[in-house]
A and B are shown apart, each in its own frame.
Chain A
Amino acid sequence: MIILDKVSKSFNGKWAVKGLDLRVDKGEVFGLLGPNAAGKTTTIRMMTGLLRPTEGKILIGGYDIVKEPIKAKSIFGYVPDKAFLYEKLKGREFLKFIASIHGIEKSTAIKRIDELLVLFGIKEIEEELIESYSQGMRQRLLFLSALIHNPQVLLIDEPFVGLDPFGVMMIKDMIRRLRLEGVTIFLATHSLHIAEELCERVGLISKGSLISIKNKEEITTEGGLEKLFLKINS
């Protein structure tokens, strides 16, 4: 479902990501784990089309993000690490806007918005301007907006930033449920326990290069992610 083929990205001659090769299957939860400035956000931003790879290609659901951006973008949802939203729109209006640009028909959109608002626990504040939302509420709204068009792929950058314990539990449940529905989830994080708990496979990235990919069994037999993480950073 996701293919990164020898993907590299340089900024002013410096490589932020170098030769990234990766495949994520349909319905898999894949975690990209690495310390700060390892290249996780750059990778995910290239996958969303916000940055263009300097080398290599990225396929989402078979669509090249550079050559067929519209088709690729219509099948994924993206949750960034920083929740910059349209402050002067109300929560519900923002969701209607997102549904509109995804071309969702009115009655379907309204039904889906209502369902998700209840599910994410923000129905109460749907008619408030986003500028008054707390960080946690914004994060929930972001998740909700990424799911409005029933994406086949969900790209998440640091999924639990600003969420309270209840919010964290809710998102974890959501990720598990989406996986069962066949949604492919790619999450970039530096949180070891999240990667360990949610991901079937974890890619360890450092200084822009993928060091290794481990599945759950390998992680357990090699003494857990903490040990692996320390190893790549030593």
Chain B
Amino acid sequence: MKTTLLLLTSKIISIKNSITLNAFLKRFPFIFIGLIFWVLFYSGTYKVLNFIRDMGFFGEILSKKLLSITFFSLSIFLILSNIITALSSFYMSKDIPFLMSKPIKIKEILRLKTIETISSSSWMVISFIPPFFIAYGVSYNAPFRFYLMLILTFIPFLLIAGGIGITAAHLLTRIFSMKKLRLSLLATGLFLFLSLYLLVRSQWSISPESPERFFNAMLNIKTDSPLMPSFWITEFVMPFLKRQTPDTSYLLLILCGGVFMLILSGLIGNRLYSNNIERIQPSIKHGIKAGTEGFYPGDKMAFLWKDVKTFFRDAGQWSQLFIISALIFIYIYNFRTLPLKTLSEIFPFMKEFMVLINMLMAGLVLSAVSARFLYSSISLEGMAFWIIRTSPVTVKKLLRAKFLYGFIPVTVILLAVVFITNIAMGTDHLLMLLSGVTIFILCISISGLGTGMGAMYPRFRYENIASISTSPGGMLFMLFAFSVVLLTVSLEAWSFYSYKKAVLSGSATSYMQIGQLVTAGILIITLNSLAFFIPMKMGKKRLEEDLSV
């Protein structure tokens, strides 16, 4: 245990050293956004809760159900997150060779990695969930005991999920190779997520006519098995809200569960870890000879060819496509199920409005996809970036290649999405053309923005690929990207609304309206050009500076 603490101290000191005033100032915008999220989440939960509780006895049941569903969802999320983090932390982390070569017992390494896994899997939940529980506490006017007991039970709740996740990671590594393992895990996760989504979506067709159907559907979701930690924590915490005496056996269950799962993961780790580490080492298969020469890229295609090859071989890179595909699937599915016909009979301009919303949503998807394909593309060169820097190629050429590498798939995906959703909504030709052209322009500018900003804030020393797009620079890119999308769509809406109004009223288009159309067009082109060129130029300048890797 002494060694574990010693090892942990070095990690804590590293974190301490990285907390500087400069780092705080850099992260300040994100802290501010986080605080806004807290306020919104709190007020949203508070309002929903009060609305539900106003329904009397039925409302109280629903309120408890909501708490139980939340704990249930959190436990599923935490288990999956712990499995993925444990795989990285126990088996792929860069400090493993160092730790294994030192006179440290396996037990100590396992303890260290367990702490690392549980803390890095739980921090996100710990950061975003408090407003939800505070809203509960305030709504019920709960005593201080509620918050205290919630913390006391939430810690073992996190430990149970951590223990399950770590145990599963050890067992899965035993069964599969690392490559197949991550893949099968992601595929299973995605399958589970989509199945759950479709199941819930089919039960919750929320329509204004049938709110009771929504509540019935909610009550029918089975999250109340007495074998689940989410059930124990709900049963223990809920009475505190109502100032009643809870059943302490649930407290004992959850505390013992936490300890038991930690011991179990330790025992399984002790048994499997050394062997698993040996199994996942890459090895050479001697004697494989080259067949035909295959494609020779030529200097113009070299970067594209290299990036495409690397992309398909690195499961860490292309597995993110699963998540993006899931997003797109849900997005298209939602549009297909919208009751547009009925709505457009009630509201004029409904179809046009939905096309604009569609473009906005597509822009959001574009920003997310670009964060993966374009923003990360320079950082993915990693520690091998010296190869490019010492080669007779200009940074401009490199950026152009990176732009093309992301722009082509992003544009194909986005145009397909917009086309499919527009068809699903029965959009006319003019709107179809307008949204197609808009998305194409946005694809160019956002791709340029992503490539340029990725070059401005490169992270050549990354632990995992996802950390590139979730870095402060990545978040800033998302913010800028979405602002460009929002402004472009707003300008279009402004001019289109005025044009459509003139058409519907039967009056001839005035000079004012034509002027408005032209201004909007010029502004859109200027905005998107700036979004493309400025970051590209700044990124080029940054990459030409001293290379510190």
Q: A86-B384, A125-B284, A133-B284 are in contact. Are A50 and B389 (CB under 8 A)?
A: yes
| Known A52-B546, A84-B382, A101-B299; contact A110-B293, beta-carbon cutoff 8 A | yes
Residues of B near A124 (CB, < 8 A) are 286-287
Question: Does A127 belong to the interface (CB within 8 Å)?
Answer: yes
B residues near A132, Cβ cutoff 8 Å: 282-284
In the bound complex, residues from chain B placing their C-beta under 8 Å from that of A70 are: 392-394
Report whether A88 and B309 are in contact in the complex, using a CB–CB cutoff of 8 Å: yes
Tally chain B residues at the interface, Cβ within 8 Å. Answer: 39
Interface residues of A in 72-93 (CB under 8 A from B): 73-74, 78, 80, 82, 84-86, 88-89, 92-93
Instruction: Specify which chain B residues have a CB less than 8 angstroms from the CB of A152 in the assembled complex.
Output: none
Confirm or deny: A109 has a beta carbon within 8 angstroms of a beta carbon on chain B: yes
Least Cβ–Cβ distance between B476 and chain A, in angstroms = 25
A50 and B299 contact, CB distance less than 8 A: no
Residues of A within 8 A of B298 (CB): 100, 106
Q: B345 an interface residue at 8 Å Cβ cutoff?
A: no
B429 within 8 A of A: no
* A168 surroundings in chain B (CB, below 8 A): none
Contact indicator B296/A106 (Cβ below 8 Å):
yes
Bound complex: CA A129 to CA B179 (Å): 14
Contact of B386 with A50 in the complex, beta carbons under 8 Å: yes
Residue total for A at the interface (Cβ-Cβ under 8 A) = 40
Assembly CA distance A124 to B547 (angstroms):
34
A73-B391, A97-B306, A101-B393 as given contacts; A84 in contact with B286, CB under 8 Å: no
- Residues of the B chain whose Cβ atoms lie less than 8 Å from the Cβ of A125: 284, 286
- The verdict on A97 contacting B305 (CB below 8 Å), with A52-B546, A80-B386 known, is yes
B290 at interface by CB-CB < 8 Å:
yes
Q: In angstroms, how far is the closest chain A Cβ from the Cβ of B444?
A: 26
Asked if A21 CB lies within 8 Å of chain B CBs, one says no
Assuming A100-B302, A101-B393, A127-B290, is B546 touching A84 (CB within 8 A)?
no
* 30 A-B contact pairs sorted by A residue (CB < 8 Å): A48-B389, A50-B390, A52-B546, A73-B392, A78-B386, A78-B390, A80-B386, A84-B382, A84-B383, A85-B384, A85-B387, A86-B384, A89-B309, A93-B306, A93-B309, A96-B296, A97-B306, A98-B387, A100-B297, A101-B299, A101-B391, A102-B299, A102-B392, A106-B296, A124-B287, A125-B286, A127-B290, A128-B288, A129-B313, A132-B282
| Interface residues, chain B, with chain A CB atoms under 8 Å away | 282-290, 293, 296-299, 301-303, 305-306, 309-310, 313-314, 382-384, 386-394, 545-547, 549
CB-based closest 8 A-B pairs = A100-B302, A84-B383, A74-B392, A73-B392, A88-B313, A132-B282, A106-B296, A88-B310
